[in-house]
Amino acid sequence: MKQSLTFIPTLREAPKEAEIASHKLLLRAGFIKQIAAGVYTYLPLGLRVLRKIESIIREELEAIGCSELLMPAMQPAELWKESGRWDDYGQTMMRMKDRHDRDFALGPTHEEVITYVIRDYLNSYKKMPLALYQIQTKFRDELRPRFGLMRGREFVMKDAYSFHTNEESLDEWYQNFKQAYINIFDRCKLEFRMVDADNGDMGGSESTEFMVLNKIGEDTIVYSDSSDFASNIEVHNLEEGAKSPDGNGTIKHAKGIEVGHVFKLGAKYSEKMNAMFINENQKRHPVLMGCYGIGVSRVMMAIIEQYNDENGIVWPKELAPFDVHLICIDPRKDEQSQAAEKLYNEFMKNKIDVLYDDRRERPGVKFSDADLIGIPVRITVGRGIKDGKVEVKYRNRDEVIEVDIDEVKNNL
């Protein structure tokens, strides 16, 4: 993609409302633009990263046998009245009326809709297990939208739902999902922990949160230094410094960003919404459910929170908006622009995602924008091209290496 043709509105200073590194950098590097409190546009660079995270999620979920669907954001009140959450959900739910004065909500989550979608179909034990997911926009009128995409009022979530005839099957899939989440967050290069969690508004019997360790996190993780984070010990309401319940260590607290959450819902929604199946013995039973969320847009910020330096974002390879940032120092000089253009076409031919800075800007502006945007490899075509040389620099290293342009081509 040519930088002169795309839209990357970089800023010298971060807007005042940005408090944390990832929010400042996403704004400054031209990845997102705020439209209202907690409501953002993903600009071309931001959208590319979001799509990369989404494709990692898709790959890992399809690998365990999940199928993708897409449910509506606009949801009729009737379904929420069936589950009882029309009244319980409170002000976090964005509500509206249609022209006939009928109540609707913009979905904060999709348990009600998915239960409606499957309930006629899942009438027999032969049709389970079944697992479905979507990647979709959610709406929550958060009391304190803040930290950019971290706590949005409109945000992208991956939500999945599984359906079972018995507890063993639910547990097996719950474990499969946990492993898929581990794979996803590993591939997103995040340092995270799994912790036992309260089920909160969702109901159900068991739930696990995936927490990225970070000081800006709004959740407190309680763990014992004698064991893994929150591994199977009852850690609720334990003061920091107290003796841990297993007697071997001390209770510690750490801050975490909740990037994912998996729940065993059991029969909570199927009983209320009448999702029943006939078992092997011709008896009617409520379908057992699990649900599994990932905050896709929040993950993008958590990654940046972990990968940045004083000059900008330092993208891990698998998540970067482009593989290579190609810079032409002076596009008015034919020998530079021709060589850069040729290299650009070679990259494209070899299916390497390249952002080509062909703008008529000062080199200083190009380099500082490149650092800010954080693409892993920078290749600069400048004066050295008359001897067939270009400069290569990795975003996470200091040295600049001069190499033959042919060597770059041969190593594509």
For residue 107, state whether it binds ligand ATP (rule: CB under 6 A): no
For residue 256, state whether it binds ligand ATP (rule: CB under 6 A): no
Amino acid letter for position 327: I
Q: Closest distance between Mg ion and the C-beta of residue 108, in Å? A: 9
Q: Closest distance between ligand ATP and the C-beta of residue 140, in Å? A: 5
Which residue, 298, 302, 248, is CA-closest to 138? 298
Q: Per-residue contact track with ligand ATP, 149 to 178, x per CB under 6 A?
A: --xx--x-x---------------------
- Residue 23 contacts which entry, ligand ATP, Mg ion, none (Cβ below 5-8 A, type-dependent): none
Which residue, 164, 134, 125, is CA-closest to 66? 134
Closer Cβ to ligand ATP, 43 or 408, answer by number: 43
Closer Cβ to Mg ion, 220 or 338, answer by number: 220
Q: Which of residues 131-150 bind ligand ATP (CB under 6 A)?
A: 140, 142
- Residue 298 contacts which entry, Mg ion, ligand ATP, none (Cβ below 5-8 A, type-dependent): ligand ATP
> Per CB under 6 A, which region of 57-65, 242-250, 289-297, 370-378 contacts ligand ATP?
289-297
The SS3 call for residue 28 is: helix
For residue 260, state whether it binds ligand ATP (rule: CB under 6 A): yes
Q: At what angle do helices 44-63 and 296-306 cross, to 10 degrees?
A: 110
Residue with tokens 């029309």: 86
Phi/psi region, residue 30 (left: phi>0; alpha: psi -120 to 50; beta: rest), is left
Question: Which residues on neighbouring strands pair with residue 196, listed in sequence order?
Answer: 208
Interatomic CA distance for residues 286 and 87, integer angstroms: 23
Which residue, 147, 313, 142, is CA-closest to 215? 147
DSSP 8-state secondary structure symbol assigned to residue 216: T
> Per CB under 6 A, which region of 63-71, 160-168, 252-260, 316-324 contacts ligand ATP?
252-260
Q: Which of residues 296-315 bind ligand ATP (CB under 6 A)?
A: 297-298
**Helix, strand, coil % (nearest 5) of the chain?**
35, 30, 35
Count of residues that interact with ligand ATP, criterion CB under 6 A: 15
Q: Are 262 and 15 in contact (CB under 8 A)?
A: no
The residue of the chain with the least Cβ separation from ligand ATP equals 295
> Per CB under 6 A, which region of 186-194, 242-250, 254-262, 277-285 contacts ligand ATP?
254-262
Interatomic CA distance for residues 326 and 335, integer angstroms: 15
For residue 261, state whether it binds Mg ion (rule: CB under 5 A): yes
Closer Cβ to ligand ATP, 107 or 295, answer by number: 295
Closer Cβ to ligand ATP, 3 or 208, answer by number: 208
Closer Cβ to Mg ion, 222 or 343, answer by number: 222
Interatomic CA distance for residues 220 and 223, integer angstroms: 10
The SS3 call for residue 346 is: helix
Closer Cβ to ligand ATP, 110 or 393, answer by number: 110
Q: Closest distance between ligand ATP and the C-beta of residue 332, in Å? A: 45
For residue 232, the tally of other CB atoms under 10 A from its CB is: 9
Q: Which of residues 240-259 bind Mg ion (CB under 5 A)?
A: 258
How many CA atoms lie less than 13 Å away from 37 in the CB half-sphere? 8
- Residue 155 contacts which entry, Mg ion, ligand ATP, none (Cβ below 5-8 A, type-dependent): ligand ATP
Output Rg (C-alpha) for the chain, integer angstroms. Answer: 25
Interatomic CA distance for residues 56 and 306, integer angstroms: 18
Q: Closest distance between Mg ion and the C-beta of residue 143, in Å? A: 9
For residue 121, the tally of other CB atoms under 10 A from its CB is: 12
CA angle 241/242/244 to nearest 5° reads 115
Q: Are 323 and 375 in contact (CB under 8 A)?
A: yes
Q: Closest distance between ligand ATP and the C-beta of residue 202, in Å? A: 7
Q: Closest distance between ligand ATP and the C-beta of residue 339, in Å? A: 44
Closer Cβ to Mg ion, 119 or 261, answer by number: 261
Closer Cβ to Mg ion, 260 or 312, answer by number: 260
Binding site for ligand ATP (CB under 6 A): 109, 140, 142, 151-152, 155, 157, 258-261, 293, 295, 297-298
Binding site for Mg ion (CB under 5 A): 258, 261
